[in-house]
Structure 1
Amino acid sequence: MNATRGDDRTEQSTVPAEPAQGVLFDDVVDTPGELGYRGPAACKAAGITYRQLDYWARTGLVEPSVRAAHGSGSQRLYGFRDILVLKVVKRLLDTGVSLQQIRVAVGALRERGIDDLAGITLMSDGASVYECTSAEDVFDLVQGGQGVFGIAVGRVWREVENDLSVLPGVDPADDAALALQDELAARRRSRQAG
């Protein structure tokens, strides 16, 4: 990811092309009982299709941090940060940025602390992604003719919070117990019918 600083220097961040999925922000600790969101709720909050969600999970771009799928019939559970990244990825795709560049951008965001997040604006010219941390950075980038689309990550954060406030969340511990009960009930019905 290119990061343009106010003193007209361009700094390159080197992130592996296939970064390992992990916690987006190292200094944020999940609280026990954090709500997870099933695929349809995550899709609705991020503005993506289920097909995109599934592809991004299978390719490691954005994997669910609350619970991964384990075989047929199991459901992934996405945390708040996962959905935030999904929405940022969607916006970058809408500008024409390649998935390779998006992987670099997501990797660079993971390296940042949560306190820095609200002040970041991601700018894109459709080919590259630039990280701006001040109004001067944005101005310099636009004046140089590079930036044509901006994403204020702090604003996306608030949008995701608002969207998730009306969507059904799942307590992962309760959901796992219910899934086991459903599976056992299905086996009993199958034996009784068979």
Structure 2
Amino acid sequence: MTSSTLTVSKSKVKTPPLQVEVLGSKTLRQAAKRVTQINHELRDLVAQMLRTMYSKDGIGLAAPQVGILKQILVLDIDPENPATAPLVLINPVVEAQGDTLAVGDEGCLSIPGVFLPVKRPVQVTVSFKDEGGKLHRRVFTDLTARVILHEIDHLQGVMFVDRVENPLALAQELTKNRFSLADVRRVRS
């Protein structure tokens, strides 16, 4: 994994610096805009996103989830390990996806309590800039690929529930957790 140059504690804070939008928010359904300038303000936003993600027990967070329509996402699939650096992707572009698909349970900080199976490619090639402005082109697999694709969906106004193939399970989980099925916008995988 690419190491972040940001130093952010993985410990939880009682009040995360950013508010996480939840299913039903109009912001979550809008397309994010490309980042045109990588500067101190952007790095500060990334650090706040990371602190918020860690405080909410997440492994990924996209800027639209905190009300900011910019193409920024952060992830850390090993949040319990202080030695593992988080990954920051700015203006990520999926260049290729592997042919092998796998079904795995997904959850989302914007839909707390809901966990459902989603089919995604096991491998993905992504180009992106890091928080220092350096361009990368990397191949990611397994859980990292899943999290990146989940977060990139957020940049396009798509949420994981839109990709759930079992309508009955989707309806049951959303209802149980007090979310509206009317807020789902089905997409084909």
Same-fold call, TM > 0.5?
Answer: no
Which of 1 and 2 has greater Rg?
1
Q: Normalising by the residue count of structure 2, what TM-score does the alignment of the two structures yield?
A: 0.29
Between Structure 1 and Structure 2, the one with more strand by share is 2
